[in-house]
Amino acid sequence: MSSLLWLIPTGLLAVLLGLMLRSSAHRAWPWFFSYVTFGISADVARFAAHNHPHPYYFIYWLTDAGYAILGALAMYEILRKVLRGLADIWWTHLIFPALVATGVGLSLWRAQLAPPRVQGLLACVVVGEIAVRFVQILVFVGLVGFIALFGFRWRQYPLGIAAGFGLYSTVALLITTKLSDIGTRFTFLWSLISVVAYSVTVLIWIGFFSVPEKEQPPLDAKVAKHYIALLERYLNVLRRTR
């Protein structure tokens, strides 16, 4: 039954794939489209091998690495789209590397508190996957603040993609920590929560991609610089008051 449950998000991903093809969104979001396509293929491969322990073990970790890589590229794609109007501000190009460095740092810190139950290359995959989840949460939180500050439209694909990743990453980090605390007694509930959370994630994406996106004009660099200058002044005032 638990294996069949994993086909629910796979079916939802197939719906999302159809919506993206119908609206030609795959052209504007090639990395996210690749993630969706890969997700369907990975789920089918895992389900086909679930009764064969050794092939399943190999496929599981290989696809886990694929999810992490494509998830990171999808986050880069979001930032590139949102910040395209600020390309002349040099430090905006450092935002994604800084987020990746932060995610890796948080993942390594977490690995010290709760060491992965695998070793060698697989431990690197786990650390990398958790780092990507931290990046996805940070991108979503940052995007919400960006919308509030610069008046970016709420019904935009970047927010929908980031919201889905942010939700699932938050749940995944919480339940993985719980699994480390409780042990194998939590495995079935972990699987169930993961399926539900990922299904809700894909439903969020379907909700956004089911409606045509209104073109968001590039961010006005002058307006952005004005807000950035105000923010810098505010931070300087805070430093002086310490």
Using 50, 70 and 90 to split pLDDT, how confident is the model at 40?
Answer: very high
For the chain, the domains span 2-241
Using 50, 70 and 90 to split pLDDT, how confident is the model at 199?
Answer: very high
Residue 26, pLDDT > 80, answer yes
State what percent of residues in the chain have pLDDT above 90.
39
Mean pLDDT for 22-28 is 91
Residue 234, pLDDT > 70, answer no
From the list 170, 225, 168, the residue with the least C-alpha distance to 195 is 168
Q: Which of 47-51, 63-67, 107-111, 219-223 has the highest mean pLDDT?
A: 63-67
Cβ neighbours of residue 18 closer than 8 Å, sequence gap 6 or more: none
Average pLDDT, rounded, for the chain: 81
Buried b / exposed e across 201-229, counting CB within 10 Å, b at 16+? Answer: bbebbbebbeeebeebeebeeeebeeebe
Using 50, 70 and 90 to split pLDDT, how confident is the model at 48?
Answer: confident
Residue 125's H or E segment, with its range, is helix 121-150
Cβ neighbours of residue 145 closer than 8 Å, sequence gap 6 or more: none
User: Given this model, what pLDDT does residue 162 score?
Assistant: 93
pLDDT one-digit tens code per residue, 62-96: 999 999 999 999 999 998 888 776 767 777 788 89
Residue 114, pLDDT > 80, answer no
What is the Cα gyration radius of the chain?
19
- Cα separation of 153 and 142, whole Å? 15
Instruction: Name the CA dihedral angle for 78, 81, 82, 84, rounded to a multiple of 10 degrees.
Output: 140
| Range of lowest pLDDT (24-38, 50-64, 205-219) | 205-219
| Range of lowest pLDDT (25-34, 98-107, 157-166, 208-217) | 208-217
User: Given this model, what pLDDT does residue 201 score?
Assistant: 95
Q: How far is CA 107 from CA 51, 120, 126, 131, 187, in A?
A: 32, 16, 9, 5, 22
Instruction: Name the CA dihedral angle for 35, 42, 104, 28, rounded to a multiple of 10 degrees.
Output: 0
pLDDT one-digit tens code per residue, 136-194: 999 999 888 777 666 665 568 888 999 999 999 999 888 776 654 444 455 566 778 88
Residue 1, pLDDT > 50, answer no
User: Given this model, what pLDDT does residue 241 score?
Assistant: 56
CB 92 within 8 A of CB 221: no
